[in-house]
Amino acid sequence: MTTTPRKPRARSQARIDSILEAARELLASEGVASLSIYAVAERAQIPPSSVYHFFASVPALLEALTADVHRAFRACLQAPISIPLHSWRDLSRLVEMRMLEIYEVDAAARQLILAQHGLTEVTQADRQHDLELGELMQNLFDQYFELPRLPEDVDVFALAMELGDRVYARSVQLHGHITARMAEEGMRVFDAYVGLYLPPFLARR
């Protein structure tokens, strides 16, 4: 008995990828406010009905893009670490630098997470993903250092990331990108908040 390849599923994924890529390009060049299903369809060179088949609305499309951006953030938390870590702040800086690199090369990430677009669905999706990233980051820190007991009613690492992002968002609002000065300030904000719960020196595992 032979099995037939799942070509329809492969074709569907290819269509979804082309839609998301078109949306990314429009976000980078024109921003969230100019995004529409018809503009995405035109950029992807497909009928608008094909876009609607996969994404019922612009917020649904943007939520998918937000999830895509956060996959990149998760990957940077899961990537191997080859530098020596003398303190938890070394790990903190490494992670933040990796995330800043994503913001630097991905205009869609800046538009979705740092720009003031006022889209509730996207903001809620971003916050949910931040909770997941915060848990991953805490696990990463716990992999290398003996963490003290952290509060259960506050997501310390997720909140620290959100606070740092507010600084990066301010830079995007003022300058259109994250300047080196504001990148440093964002990392300082992250460390300052996490430092309320972690002592300056933690034992290595």
**111 and 204, same domain (yes or no):** yes
Query: Of 26, 56, 86, which marks where a domain is finished?
Result: 56
How far apart CA 72 and CA 108 sit, in angstroms, is: 12
pLDDT of 5 above 90: no
Q: What is the pLDDT of residue 158?
A: 95
Give strand pairing partners of 204.
145
Max CA distance (Å), the chain: 64
pLDDT at 126: 77
94, 189: one domain: yes
Would you state the pLDDT for residue 118?
Answer: 67
106 and 25, same domain (yes or no): no
Please check the confidence at residue 56 and state whether its pLDDT lies above 60.
yes
Residues 77 and 26 in one domain: no
**CATH number of the domain residue 63 falls in:** 1.10.357
> Pick the residue with more confidence: 123 or 6?
123
What residues pair up with 145 in beta bridges, in sequence order? Answer: 204
- The domain in which residue 11 lies consists of 1-56
Question: Does 97 share its domain with 6?
Answer: no
Q: Is there a single domain that holds both residue 205 and residue 145?
A: yes
Query: What's the per-residue H, E or C state across 40-92?
Result: HHHHHCCCHHHHHHHCCCHHHHHHHHHHHHHHHHHHHHHCCCCCCCCCHHHHH
Residues 50, 68: one domain?
Answer: no
Residue among 135, 22, 31 at smallest CA distance from 73:
135
Residue 13, pLDDT score: 87
Note the pLDDT tens digit of each residue in 82-123.
999 999 999 999 999 999 999 999 988 888 888 776 667 777
Choose among 69, 68, 63: nearest CA to 35: 63
**199 burial via Cβ count (<10 Å: 0-12, 13-18, 19+):** exposed
- The overall average pLDDT reported for the chain is 89
Task: Indicate which CATH number applies to the domain containing 35.
Answer: 1.10.10.60
Same domain for 96 and 178? yes
- For residues 134 and 187, membership in a common domain is answered with yes
The total number of structural domains in the chain stands at 2
pLDDT at 2 > cutoff 60: no
8 has pLDDT over 60: no
pLDDT for 19 equals 93
**Predicted pLDDT at 11:** 79
pLDDT of residue 107: 87
Asked whether the predicted pLDDT for residue 30 surpasses 90, the reply is: no
Same-domain pairing of 67 and 51:
no
> In the chain, at which residue ranges do the beta strands (DSSP E only) sit?
none
Same domain for 51 and 147: no
6-25 average pLDDT score:
82
Q: Domain ends where: 56, 74, 92?
A: 56
Residues above pLDDT 70, as percent of the chain: 94
Q: Which of 56, 76, 98 is the last residue of a domain?
A: 56
- Looking at the structure, tell me whether residues 112 and 177 fall in a common domain: yes
